[in-house]
Amino acid sequence: MTAVAVLGESCHPSGDVHFLFAFDLLLPMDRHTRQSPPTQDHGGLLMGSELTPKQDPLPITCPNCGRKDRQVKAGATGGIQRYKCVPCGRRYSLDVRPRAYASALREQAVQMHASGTSIRKVAHALGVSPQTVSNWTRTASPPSAPDVPGPTRAESSIKPRTTIVDVARHAGVSTATISNDLNDKGRMSQKTRLRIEDAMKVLYFTPNALVQAIRHRRTHTLGLLSYGIYELVKDIEYSIVAPILAAINRAADAAAYDVLLYTGWPHRARSRTGSDFLNGQIDGLLWMSPQSYHPQLRFVADGGLPVMSLMTRRVPDGVGYVVADNVGGIRDLVQYLVSRGHTRIAFLGATITSDFVDRATGYREGLVATGIAHDPEIESTDVAGDQWSRVGIAPVLDRWLQMQDPPTAIVCVEDILAANAIELLRERGLRVPEDMAVTGFNDVPATEQLCGGITTVHQPFSEIGRIAVERLNAMIQGTPLSECRITLPVRLVIRSSTEPQSS
């Protein structure tokens, strides 16, 4: 608004002039020119621009109405001067350059923000919007600092990860076009696709796996939680885990899956919670444990993640499994010993795992199948001491050997236990197999050399690993659970720890 002097006169109805007066009149002022609207001389009234100095008009023409007068500046957008035509109200720009900021302006904004200047202040200083500055600071790599010594050789080799923004800039297309190419959406010329592919190769660009997983609901990664990993180095020749892991790796590779190995087995100090497996990083879980039950397994199954258990068939609803025929293997072993003339057959083991429980069941079924009475005195399922150590099993063997009718054969629940039993028997003056036959289970790589060779039951470890991956993949694809619960056949391997008694 502007104050303008107005001169007037007051007349009596008779026509005589009585007095003159003056007052200030507030008139609207153009907010762009800071001048009052031009007026004319009406009966001695001097108004508007006639009382203020005139401003030279801008030498531009409105593209809408063609007028050249009263063209005023109207701020800047994107670094480009804008104008307004006062008569028609049209806003326009004379700059026909593409609406893109100079790289120097972008770098200056990043440098200012890195030095502690707020985004709003940077935007005000450079004449751009705060959102533009925010976008620059989020996508830019850390600014260089000339006054700081350069990075070491090792540090300089670490480059920022290439983004689709970099690819789009290099290929001369929009980020939306890059996204469409990655997701195979929209229509696009072959020339554009090739240009994008070349840019990706030059910039070493690979799509973010987690982002792709969210979009497609697939990570192409299988989780693996396995017992026995800690003991692989020292017990590789006795491990049943090593051949299974090798088979899992081969099968996963054939199915285009990666395998994520989880640390922290449940009985360790650092254990996993069930929710660790439900964070979207894996498509399914391989649970390799002979334990009969663990609450984590039910939690994961209830969470909807496909799970395949290896080495135990005692699993919650919704969980598949692949196991060897533990019951049938021991049953066949008992029948084999009976066919060699043994009628007092002992069982040495434990029931701490699912497969051991099945082997104890197979022992009893074998006795029933051959018509031999079961004697609880020569069945031990609670071996004391350090797992299968000689100290742990020595009291059991001594008690059996002192019986009036001692056993003539011992079925051990696994190979290492059988090897320890053979050594203890030989220390006590017994010959194996002449005085006592001993068998194992698993057929680990060292079994053929242990104690001259141990008769055992061969578990198809490679098949267990391969089928576990194949069935888990089938579960992920929607195969019914009934087709993902597999029991594999086993076979006897006869060695020197057993010989027939008299016929």
pLDDT digits (tens, 9 = 90+) for 31-85: 444 444 444 444 443 343 333 445 566 788 888 888 888 888 888 776 678 888 9
Residue-wise pLDDT for 179-232, tens only, equals 788 777 778 888 888 888 888 888 877 765 555 554 556 678 999 988 766 555
User: Of 157-161, 207-211, 470-474, where does the model show the most confidence?
Assistant: 470-474
- Residue 25, helix vs strand vs coil: strand
Q: With bands split at pLDDT 50, 70 and 90, how would you rate the model's confidence at 387?
A: low
User: 202 lies in a domain?
Assistant: yes
Total domains in the chain come to: 4
Q: With bands split at pLDDT 50, 70 and 90, how would you rate the model's confidence at 255?
A: very high
Q: CATH number for the domain including 137? A: 1.10.260.40
Q: With bands split at pLDDT 50, 70 and 90, how would you rate the model's confidence at 27?
A: very low
Residue of 375, 379, 333, 386 whose CA lies nearest to 360 = 379
Identify the bridge partners of residue 458 per DSSP, sorted by sequence position.
Answer: 442, 491
Query: 279 and 300: one domain?
Result: yes
**For 280-294, what is the mean pLDDT?**
79
CA distances from 74 to 57, 82, 90 (A): 14, 5, 11
User: 418 lies in a domain?
Assistant: yes
Using CA atoms, how far apart are residues 301 and 317, in angstroms rounded to an integer? 8
Write out the H or E segment, with its range, that includes residue 5.
strand 2-11
Using CA atoms, how far apart are residues 371 and 269, in angstroms rounded to an integer? 48
Query: 358 and 420: one domain?
Result: yes
Using CA atoms, how far apart are residues 369 and 233, in angstroms rounded to an integer? 41
Query: 449 and 391: one domain?
Result: yes
Query: 330 and 320: one domain?
Result: no
pLDDT score recorded for residue 32: 43
User: 404 lies in a domain?
Assistant: yes
- Residue 158, helix vs strand vs coil: coil
Residue of 395, 397, 456, 391 whose CA lies nearest to 422 = 397
**128-149 core/surface letters (b: 16 or more CB in 10 A; e: else):** beeebbbebbeebeeeeeeeee
The Cα diameter of the chain in Å comes to: 160
Q: Tokens 């029931």 identify what position?
A: 351
Residue 9 lies in domain: 2-51
**For 335-350, what is the mean pLDDT?**
95
Query: 469 and 394: one domain?
Result: no
Query: 330 and 440: one domain?
Result: yes
Could you tell me the sign of the dihedral formed by the alpha carbons of 378, 382, 385, 390, in that order?
A: positive
| Contact status, residue 221 vs residue 258, Cβ threshold 8 Å | yes
- Do you find a cis peptide bond into 433, omega within 30 degrees of 0? yes
Locate all alpha helices (DSSP H) within 140-290, ordered by sequence.
153-156, 164-171, 175-182, 190-203, 209-216, 241-254
User: 60 lies in a domain?
Assistant: no
CA distances from 410 to 58, 75, 136, 373, 436 (A): 110, 97, 76, 16, 7
**For 453-477, what is the mean pLDDT?**
95
Query: 312 and 251: one domain?
Result: yes
| Contact status, residue 91 vs residue 80, Cβ threshold 8 Å | no
User: 80 lies in a domain?
Assistant: no
Q: With bands split at pLDDT 50, 70 and 90, how would you rate the model's confidence at 7?
A: very low
Query: 236 and 259: one domain?
Result: yes
Q: CATH number for the domain including 343? A: 3.40.50.2300
Query: 307 and 378: one domain?
Result: no
Q: With bands split at pLDDT 50, 70 and 90, how would you rate the model's confidence at 374?
A: very high
